Structure 1
Amino acid sequence: MKKSLSLVLTAILTIGLAGCGAKKDASAVNANATTNNDKKVIKVGATPVPHKEILEVVKPLLEKKGYQLEIKEFTDYVQPNISVNDGELDANFFQHVPYLENMNKEKGLKLDYTVKVHLEPMGVYSKKITSLNDLKDGATIAVPNDPTNEARALRVLEKAGLIKVKDGDLVTPLDITENTKNLKFKELEAAQLPRTLEDVEAAVINTNYALEAKLNPSKDALAIESKDSPFANILAVRKEDKDKPYIKALSEALTSPEVKKFIEEKYNGSIVPAF
């Protein structure tokens, strides 16, 4: 009888210990899940101006919250999205919503955005003329070759009265319906546009690349995009990461009063806060 009782108590004790072990294991799993859901080092891809400059302002703001920001510099508009999608980066900061949506469609990416940070009005620049009225018949204008920015550039030229274009979001030179000066268009990667100013009569350049080339949009642009443009630059992330603590912390820092003040004072109207 005693022997049977002893065996029963041993079995109960064993089950109890196993249960405690299971609880500890479950706690460990939960702890790891929490750790994996947050991270203390945030890797962000950005083009140099103004995106990297703005992220430098964000660094100390994140440090106060216990995060370290690592910035990887890019000079193209394709690789930053690929790197985020593949998990090499946590986020990127260089593009507007239409460009991101088009990249998702073309490359099969699963990216989204959290906040709109600033607008970079696209401008028309030239080293050969001082007014668009001076453009000669058959002159060549360089434009970005990616779909969204090319359409955006053509709309700037349309608003300046140089051409008329069909309705639509992703228009190209083939959609021009009126071109009284018989303008020709040279389609190039956005980063190359400032270097073409010696070879073409004019170029429509994204503000970040204009600033890198020491061009001041508010002073040097012969025509400039309206400030009510929908092309605000965003923080892009993987869809599954949007609500993670480190992404929320980064988004809050990018739309902080400190960043707004920096944009307004540093760029003096050539770049406009979008928050």
Structure 2
Amino acid sequence: MFKTSLRAFAALAGALLLAGTAPAADKLVIAATQVPHAEILEFVKPTLAREGVDLDIKVFSDYVQPNLQTADKQVDANFFQHKPYLDTFNKDRGTHLVPVAAVHVEPFGAYSRKIKKVADLKDGATVAIPNDPSNSGRALLLLARQGLITLKDPSNIQATSLDVATNPKHLKFRELEAAMLPRSLDDVDLALINTNYALEAGLVPTRDALFIEGADSPYANLIVAREDNKGSPALAKLVQALHTHEVKKFILEKYKGAVVPAF
């Protein structure tokens, strides 16, 4: 009788222990720049927790380390870049990162503290543009659409200042790291700035940009991973959480047109 009771007690204790032990959550580590990428990820973090995914967001201030750390398996994926940048990075660095899903577009804009409209741009003005090929091409294409320059190949998304065909105002181009562009505004006449860095600097693209890309921009920002983990269940749950009406509403209300959903 005593042995039977002891066995019953052990079985009950084991059942209670199992009932009180929740399955371990899948950890998903994502590298992201702060605005808007990390903010969007923070918004979906509670949703993922309910789906059994512990989202760990690593914030970076540059465009190089997130890709390097993804390739080196220090993080699972990243969220900060568009496909032209990814393609250039893979080619230059010998990496093999792949897009998983598009989330939003950040319309690229031109800013100035010295002029109020494009017509005021003086002959010989200094224009700051990003120094990485995909974003410098994006900046030059935007300048060309404003009629400020023409390019040898108007479809070349990786154009550099060497690809400028005509430059009626004799603009002088200063190529800087993308993160440094907002700080250059006091020193240049015009700066072409990625929206995430514009937002971090307190600029409101829809208010402060002299001109800006339309919502039809092809530069959608992506979740990017490695070939070996692009189809992981945790990443699939992240994409599902991002592609929702709630996230679309969050983006539209928080960024007021400076960030546009791409799904």
TM-score, normalised via structure 2 length: 0.89
Q: Please, which moves more after superposition, 184-193 or 161-170? A: 161-170
Query: Residue 121 of structure 1: which of 102, 107, 115 is its match?
Result: 107
Residue 125 (structure 1) shift:
0.1
Residue 226 (structure 1) shift:
2.0
Query: Residue 260 of structure 1: which of 241, 248, 253 is its match?
Result: 248
Q: Please, which moves more after superposition, 240-249 or 115-124? A: 240-249
Give the whole-Å Cα distance in 2 for the aligned partners of 1:159 and 1:39: 49
Give the whole-Å Cα distance in 1 for the aligned partners of 2:232 and 2:55: 15
Query: Residue 202 of structure 1: which of 175, 190, 199 is its match?
Result: 190
- Report SS of the residue matched to 1:42: strand
Q: 1:220 — aligned with what?
A: 208
AA aligned opposite 2:157: D
Task: Tell me, yes or no, if the aligned pair for 1:39 and 1:246 is still in contact at 8 Å.
Answer: no
Give the whole-Å Cα distance in 2 for the aligned partners of 1:41 and 1:230: 31
State how 1:1-275 maps to structure 2 within 5 Å: 40-167=26-153, 168-275=156-263
In the TM superposition, structure 1's runs of 4+ consecutive aligned residues that sit over 2 Å from their partners are none
Please list every run of 5 or more consecutive structure 2 residues that lacks an aligned counterpart in the other structure. 1-23
AA aligned opposite 1:217: P
TM-score, normalised via structure 1 length: 0.85
Residue 249 (structure 1) shift:
0.8
Larger radius of gyration: 1
Task: Tell me, yes or no, if the aligned pair for 2:25 and 2:52 is still in contact at 8 Å.
Answer: no
- Report SS of the residue matched to 1:82: helix
Give the whole-Å Cα distance in 2 for the aligned partners of 1:229 and 1:121: 7
Identity percentage over the alignment? Answer: 55
| More helix as a share of residues | 1
Please list every run of 5 or more consecutive structure 1 residues that lacks an aligned counterpart in the other structure. 1-37
